[in-house]
Amino acid sequence: MISRLHAILKNRKTFAIAFSGGVDSTFLAAAAKKVCGDEVVALTAVSRFQSQYDLTMSLDIAETIGIKQVLVEVDVMIDPTIVVNSIERCYFCKQKLFEALRIKAKELGFDILAHGANMDDLNDYRPGLKAAEEMGIFSPLVEAQLTKSDIRIASKAMGLCTWDMPSQSCLATRIPYGETITVEKLNRIECCEYFLIQLGFYGVRVRCHSNMARIECPNHFISQMAQHDMCNKITSFFTTQGFRFVALDLAGYRSGNMN
């Protein structure tokens, strides 16, 4: 399957990649850099839905891979179809992000924009994939029929630090559909998640239900997070960020839980 991916990339030769620094886009960027050299560029959308932690990580990863990275500012908060947060939010958001990246790609001389969707993404509720398909975004990992597991295994073999990285998603996914997205909510979520990361809890989600925070974390963190002293520390910080109630979801983190 990896050789099939290399053949697909070599056939396109020159293109831009929508790059977040996550497992999939990092693997695609590294494979493209190996096959196509300097004929590819990584374009990273910088929006209010992306945490500063994720942005910094993407910069470090792009530098490690050795691929040229260009940041593209996108103001998602001015689009009412996005901030109203309907079940089609991801569709409208991806349209806006891909269009901004495609314009930048054209400016840089690239006619093709690729993204890191994989076969597993096709089995989830992903309105953004519909937007990508409608806009003709190149999906080489899907063409090569690579699953998330395939990508992690290949990433480990390539020495990529992202091979066991928890799944990423934008900050807007922490807010239930139907609740308006605001800068205040996004700031609160970002600060609280970064606080948990600093405590050593990776792969966490702080779901924002009005004035209540519902923390989802990988199952192996639940007992540690539920200890009395840790609960007090987390609750104290979350309260300073505007949450009145803080709950730990005993079911743990579940991808797409807010769908």
Rounded to 10°, the helix 148-157/23-36 angle is 60
pTM for the whole structure: 0.91
Looking only at the bridges linking them, the beta strands covering 205-209 and 212-216 are antiparallel
pLDDT of residue 257: 61
d(CA 256, CA 259): 5
pLDDT of residue 239: 97
Handedness of CA 100, 106, 111, 116 (dihedral sign): negative
Q: Phi first, then psi: what are they for 14, rounded to 5°?
A: -130, 125
Q: What is the pLDDT along the chain (259 residues), one digit of tens a residue?
A: 788 999 999 888 899 999 999 999 999 999 999 999 889 999 999 999 999 999 999 999 999 999 999 999 999 999 999 999 999 999 999 999 999 999 999 999 999 999 999 998 887 778 888 899 899 999 999 999 999 999 999 999 999 999 999 888 999 999 999 999 999 999 999 999 999 999 999 999 999 999 999 999 999 999 999 999 999 999 999 999 999 999 999 998 877 665 5
d(CA 49, CA 190): 9
The alpha carbon of 137 is separated from its chain's Cα centroid by a whole number of angstroms, namely 17
User: Residue with structure tokens 């800068």?
Assistant: 183
Closest by Cα among 143, 166, 145 to 15 = 143
Q: Which domains does the chain have, with CATH numbers?
A: 2-162 (3.40.50.620), 171-248 (no CATH)
d(CA 32, CA 26): 10
d(CA 104, CA 68): 14
pLDDT of residue 256: 61
Could you tell me where the DSSP H helices lie in the chain? Answer: 2-12, 23-36, 52-65, 80-83, 89-107, 127-134, 140-143, 148-157, 183-198, 219-225, 228-240
DSSP-derived letter for residue 209 is E
Alpha-carbon distances, residue 140 vs 6, 17, 202 (angstroms): 9, 10, 29
Opening angle at CA 139, ends 138 and 142, nearest 5:
155
DSSP characters for 133-184?
HHTT-B-HHHHTT--HHHHHHHHHHTT-GGGGPPPP--GGGGS-TTSPP-HH
d(CA 176, CA 258): 6
Alpha-carbon distances, residue 94 vs 25, 127, 138, 143, 168 (angstroms): 15, 8, 14, 20, 15
Q: In the structure encoding, which two tokens stand for residue 11, read together?
A: 């056939």
pLDDT of residue 147: 94
